[in-house]
Amino acid sequence: MNLPCTPSFNLSGKRALVTGASSGIGLACAVALAEHGAEVTLAARSEDKLRDIAEAMMAENWLANVLEMDVSDTEATEAAVLANGPFDILVNSAGLARHGPALETDAPDYDAVTDLNVKGAYFLTRAVAKGLKEAGKPGSLINISSQMAHVGGIDRAVYCATKHAVEGFTKAMAIEWGKAGIRVNTICPTFILTPLTQSTFDNPERRAWIMDKIKLPRVGEVSDIMGAAVFLASDAAEMITGTSLMIDGGWTAD
């Protein structure tokens, strides 16, 4: 009897670019990909912090290097990606949130959030895909989106708008580049406990709202995202493109 074989989660020989890699979800994804064999380029605006992270990763005998990058600077980002690529894997975890009531949104805050979360993410994804197409290689491009790309949230009109946009261009790009073997997907986390979200969790009213929406009996941790990143990057997800992997504790199940 010939039993089916489980596809490999091994990423050896793959080159991965992880933006927003200096902390939180981006850092966790970078570690997960490196642990599974990928050569990981850590990208963020803070090069010094990235070097410390790269040194710690290399001490584990993982492959890591550093690329200073501001994803909102689309021209510089594209030049850096094309000069240092091609990258087989992209995890874009660079993002910005400035929450507040919709009636109090001002244009500078709107522009800052959309410039990074939508424009920056769009042109970064395009740049990595361009490098892959020129090299004639397949790849897996992953944008860290949000459960807020599928629902609304208190004081999150701008943030929700940007993440809904990411879901839209992800689907369109997946259709456009599918024949080239380039897969494009999103990971949609719920509220994940990180230094950046600590103030939200410290607010009793907001924490109660979060725990009411999450159907499981705990909040999200960065470790909850790590396996998803490895899965989507690996051959095990070869038939997955143009979709969202919800890691929301059942938030959007209602």
Q: Tell me which residues are annotated as active site.
A: 159
- Secondary structure class of 240 (helix, strand, coil): coil
Residue 249 backbone phi and psi in degrees, to 5: 60, 25
Task: For residue 241, give the 3-state DSSP assignment.
Answer: coil
Helix (H) or strand (E) holding 20: none
Which amino acid is it at 185?
N
The answer to whether the CB of 40 falls within 8 A of the CB of 30 is: yes
The closest of 203, 191, 3 to 97, measured between CA atoms, is 191
Q: How far apart are CA 195 and CA 146, in angstroms?
A: 17
What angle (nearest 5°) sits at the alpha carbon of residue 36, between those of residues 246 and 124?
60
Alpha-carbon distance of 207 to 211, in angstroms, equals 6
Tell which phi-psi region holds residue 37, choosing left (phi > 0), alpha (psi between -120 and 50) or beta. left
